[in-house]
Structure 1
Amino acid sequence: MAEVTTTTTPPLAENAPVNATDYKPKLEEQMLAYASIYTMALICVIWGSIRSLKYVKKTIAKKRLIDASILTSDAKKFPINASLVLFTLYLVFKGNAIQDGVALARTHVLPNIPETYHHYFDTVVDYLPKANGTQFSWRDKVNNYYPSLEPYVAQVPEITKQNFVTFLVWLMTYEGVCCLATLLKPIISFVLRLLPIGDRWPRRNISYYLVFKSGKKEMEEGDIEDAKKDNVNKYFEMEFDDHWIWAFLAVSIVGVLHITHRHWITNNIIAVSFSIMGIEMLHVASFKAGAILLFGLFFYDIFWVFGTDVMTTVAKSIDAPILLMFPQDLLAHGWQKASKHGMLGLGDIVIPGIFIALLRRFDAHIFEKDGSKQKSRYYFAATMVAYTVGLFATIAIMHHFKAAQPALLYLVPACLITPLTLALIRGEFSQLWNYSEEHITERFDSIKKAEKEKIENANQKKNKQLKKTN
């Protein structure tokens, strides 16, 4: 979603003729802001697509399978899942939305339910936010049942809207700093390897691997380490090395500054890093999956922006690095006191970005298959141009109507129609439409194994029945 908003209420700039919050940016200031935002968006998509190709090639070279992948079945469910998450956040942030829903349920739903079940409804309502929409009553419940725990319960932070937002900010900032450390690790490694200390610390680079998993069935102690992937659930996995730790420590200052100041510069550094790594790691398994994903989110974005106030409410309530922003009053109020920001949500970068990254991998696949076409592979470049046009169409329409716009309304047609039209012209429509990388994904491999086991079990049952009859 692209939007203009006032995010803070700073004091007046030294030479500001009017109140900073009442200042109306000039056209050139608006163009500067959105040119900066869209330049950052293009950098994210291009850089992320390049890293995505390298990541897939590296995975194939090591004869591994990609774990985080979006298959066709996932793409179909993605808009519904995203809507549920978005609406849940809306209920949390919207003042009396939950209480209004409870009142509506009491009037229209509860009378149709047997009275024996009414106490369950009341129990659930007790744990919902109170009328002011700020706190839950879980502390009172615990203290009533276990009075001795009251001093300890009082030390636990209250579940409030503000604390929830703070938790999201800390979580997103940490993830963003991890992404930034990953991007800058090659530079840190280069610097560390220049140190004239031989192979001693900190020049050395030893790798570490942390994993938390549980067995799907009973196992003896020690067996889970060597158990097959199909027999375990993996909840947490992290691989890093000494140089990444140094990179993390070096860039952690960005996270600290963002937590303490919430400045738009630190926000953009974290958001750009998050976007690049998202495009690299979120692997779309096939062109069909990517097309279905974009098509579904096309209607998702339109509905939640034009049809309701849900998207704008959530975007303004979460003060976390989930969007790119640039002040439109930068020239008038300076980089510290500027308050009117143009914004572009990371979803409008990452979602088209993972599809464009797929097209870059398609270009590389066709070239490797037929090296003579090296100079004529430009599905990626053509779609990048279309994505750029879609971004500027968004700002033009938003400037004309003076209202927030669902950016995917313009980006999805641009990113879908362009490669399909190009494929028709070049006679490669079938190759593009049927292009798939599902065979290198873990989930597809698991699905195929499960299907194979079902067939084998069915054949075994048939053979047993035939033996009995004979």
Structure 2
Amino acid sequence: MADTAPPAAPTVDPASNASAANITISFEETMVAYGSLYAMAVFCIVVGSIRSVGYVLEHIREKKLIEASITTKEAKRFPFTASAVLFGLYVFFKYGDVVQAEVGKFIFKRGVETAEDVVANITNGTATATSGGLFSYLPKISKENAMIVLLVLLCWEGSVALAHLLKPVFSAILNRLPIDANSQPRANLPYEINFTRGKKDAPTDVDRLIEWKFDTHDLVSVAVCSLVGISHIYRRHWISNDLIGCAFSLYGIEQLHLASFKGGVLLLAGLFVYDVFWVFATDVMTTVATGINAPILLQFPQDLFQMGWQAKKHAMLGLGDIVIPGIFVALLRRFDCRVLEQGANKKKQLEGKKGRWYFQTTMVAYAAGLTLTIFIMHVFKAAQPALLYLVPACVGVPVALATIRGELSDLWNYSEEHLVKKDDKEAAKDAVAHKKTN
């Protein structure tokens, strides 16, 4: 998870650092840059939270279980998993060349060259197939090539997320275009791709490993939005970066389902420690964040008024500082909207109940925490772990409000875990536990 970058953060294009360093940024330009990041972050959380209500209600009404969900069990493990991934990337960025050479020594058996020559050739990227076996492929496993693969993958995923969000727009246009010979809109044909595991003669005993459902409008939307991803791969412009980043944030907050309030508190508490440790106690977070040249953050130029659209010096905000608090705020939005009661069609139970304000108050708390993060970052001119300020605000405010309103028990015990699809082992455990209780 990337952290908020300081005002003098590295530009997206490393080659432009020298020219960017000579630019003097005014206070007004700084405020415009951080105000834009602020507005994008708040927009993504508000819209994503509203969309998450429809996402969960759709699953309830269609009696489908939610697959991508963070339960209490996953919330406990998430900070450790994230730490392992982060440290792995750090080792790869900082010691990748050394590890590559050592692996080369181990793999090398026989060949035209000596082991020392091959290791030297790996270091300067001139190793050839004469090294034998897997050895000829080692020079291709470099940081530069790995970053290209990561960039292409993230741009593709971002284009798909953007296409998902903009599909209603494309559908509205396609439904009005006279495309076929009779000047009528062409039918929106559905498609489905399944990867299953099981026996051919027992179709009922089949596990669906992957199930893709899409239609013609999806294909058109992805085709158009992929132009944004292709543009970013070739130009790395901050506008295409922000389009992909906002799409990631909106899609993540909508569909990365947080299953319970307890799980949300555990998740935020664990990531609070994770963020503070890796930013303040080590150089791991900053090394990884500045080493990945991919759309994993939002950025806005601080020298926009001086350099125009080709601005070089950017203020940055990591997507993790939007999505992680965002899925917690989305849970509060669903709590406010009484999603479980609406899904059960218990309309009479909704009448006459007091309004809830957890979503609104927590959004104010998030906005205040983000403002404090930007202020401290600007004063100390150093990267800050945004969750250090966002987690106490996003957790403390709804808990305090629930205590005042006498709803602390309802909020603390709020859970949607019964809507989550469980794996085979968990389902078997639940079945055994159910038999014992009966």
Query: Paired residue for 2:320?
Result: 347
Please, which of 207, 228, 231 is the counterpart of residue 190 of structure 2? 207
Query: Paired residue for 2:74?
Result: 74
Confirm or deny: 8 A CA contact 2:194 2:208 kept in the other structure: no
Amino acid corresponding to residue 351 of structure 1 in structure 2: I
Q: Deviations over 1:335-377 (max 9, x none)?
A: 21x1111111110000000000000010111785742456622
Query: Paired residue for 1:226?
Result: 204
Note if 1:391 corresponds to 2:370: yes
Confirm or deny: 8 A CA contact 1:21 1:339 kept in the other structure: no
Note if 1:187 corresponds to 2:169: yes
Q: Deviations over 1:51-101 (max 9, x none)?
A: 111000001110110011111110000000000001111111114685599
Please, which of 4, 19, 40 is the counterpart of residue 2 of structure 1? 4
Query: Paired residue for 2:411?
Result: 432
| Deviation at residue 24 of structure 1 after TM alignment | 2.9
1:49-448 superposed matches below 5 A: 49-95=49-95, 123=106, 144-145=132-133, 158-196=140-178, 203-215=186-198, 219=199, 221=200, 223=202, 225-227=203-205, 232=207, 234=209, 236-336=210-310, 338-365=311-338, 368=342, 370-372=349-351, 376-443=355-422, 447-448=426-427
Looking at structure 2, the residues matched to 373 and 28 of structure 1 have their Cα atoms a distance apart, in angstroms, of: 48
TM-score (norm 2): 0.86
Amino acid corresponding to residue 86 of structure 2 in structure 1: L
Q: Provide the secondary structure at the position in 2 that maps to 1:442.
A: coil
Q: 1:404 to 1:40 in 2, by over 3 A?
A: same
Confirm or deny: 8 A CA contact 2:178 2:185 kept in the other structure: no
| Deviation at residue 250 of structure 1 after TM alignment | 1.8
Q: Provide the secondary structure at the position in 1 that maps to 2:317.
A: strand
Q: 1:377 to 1:446 in 2, by over 3 A?
A: farther
Looking at structure 2, the residues matched to 333 and 326 of structure 1 have their Cα atoms a distance apart, in angstroms, of: 13
Looking at structure 2, the residues matched to 277 and 418 of structure 1 have their Cα atoms a distance apart, in angstroms, of: 25
Looking at structure 1, the residues matched to 394 and 184 of structure 2 have their Cα atoms a distance apart, in angstroms, of: 48
| Deviation at residue 450 of structure 1 after TM alignment | 3.0
Looking at structure 1, the residues matched to 185 and 292 of structure 2 have their Cα atoms a distance apart, in angstroms, of: 39
Q: Select between 203-212 and 380-389 the one with higher mean Cα deviation.
A: 203-212
Amino acid corresponding to residue 424 of structure 1 in structure 2: T
Confirm or deny: 8 A CA contact 1:208 1:239 kept in the other structure: yes
Confirm or deny: 8 A CA contact 1:20 1:333 kept in the other structure: no
Confirm or deny: 8 A CA contact 2:122 2:139 kept in the other structure: no
1:5-44 superposed matches below 5 A: 5-7=9-11, 8=13, 19-44=19-44
Q: 1:130 to 1:372 in 2, by over 3 A?
A: farther
Q: Deviations over 1:255-281 (max 9, x none)?
A: 111111000000000010011001111
Amino acid corresponding to residue 331 of structure 2 in structure 1: L
Looking at structure 1, the residues matched to 104 and 179 of structure 2 have their Cα atoms a distance apart, in angstroms, of: 68
Q: Provide the secondary structure at the position in 1 that maps to 2:211.
A: strand
Q: Provide the secondary structure at the position in 2 that maps to 1:295.
A: helix
Query: Paired residue for 1:105?
Result: none
Confirm or deny: 8 A CA contact 2:121 2:127 kept in the other structure: no
Q: Provide the secondary structure at the position in 2 that maps to 1:204.
A: coil
TM-score (norm 1): 0.80
| Deviation at residue 196 of structure 1 after TM alignment | 3.9
Q: Deviations over 1:290-335 (max 9, x none)?
A: 1000000000000111111111111111111110001111111112
Amino acid corresponding to residue 430 of structure 1 in structure 2: S
Confirm or deny: 8 A CA contact 1:86 1:314 kept in the other structure: yes
Amino acid corresponding to residue 6 of structure 1 in structure 2: P
Confirm or deny: 8 A CA contact 2:89 2:288 kept in the other structure: yes
Amino acid corresponding to residue 10 of structure 2 in structure 1: T
Q: Select between 399-408 and 363-372 the one with higher mean Cα deviation.
A: 363-372
| Deviation at residue 201 of structure 1 after TM alignment | 8.0
| Deviation at residue 241 of structure 1 after TM alignment | 0.8
Looking at structure 1, the residues matched to 101 and 127 of structure 2 have their Cα atoms a distance apart, in angstroms, of: 20
Q: Deviations over 1:98-117 (max 9, x none)?
A: 55998xxxxxxxxxxxxxxx
Confirm or deny: 8 A CA contact 1:383 1:418 kept in the other structure: yes
Confirm or deny: 8 A CA contact 2:125 2:139 kept in the other structure: no
Q: Select between 412-421 and 359-368 the one with higher mean Cα deviation.
A: 359-368
Confirm or deny: 8 A CA contact 2:101 2:122 kept in the other structure: no
Count of residues in Structure 1 that have an aligned counterpart in Structure 2:
418
- After superposition, the CA RMSD in angstroms is 3.4
Q: 1:312 to 1:407 in 2, by over 3 A?
A: same
Q: Deviations over 1:162-195 (max 9, x none)?
A: 0100000000000000011111110111111112
Q: Provide the secondary structure at the position in 1 that maps to 2:295.
A: coil
| Deviation at residue 200 of structure 1 after TM alignment | 8.4
Looking at structure 1, the residues matched to 161 and 16 of structure 2 have their Cα atoms a distance apart, in angstroms, of: 34
Amino acid corresponding to residue 132 of structure 2 in structure 1: N
What stretches of structure 2 of length at least 5 have no aligned partner? Answer: 110-114
Query: Paired residue for 2:112?
Result: none
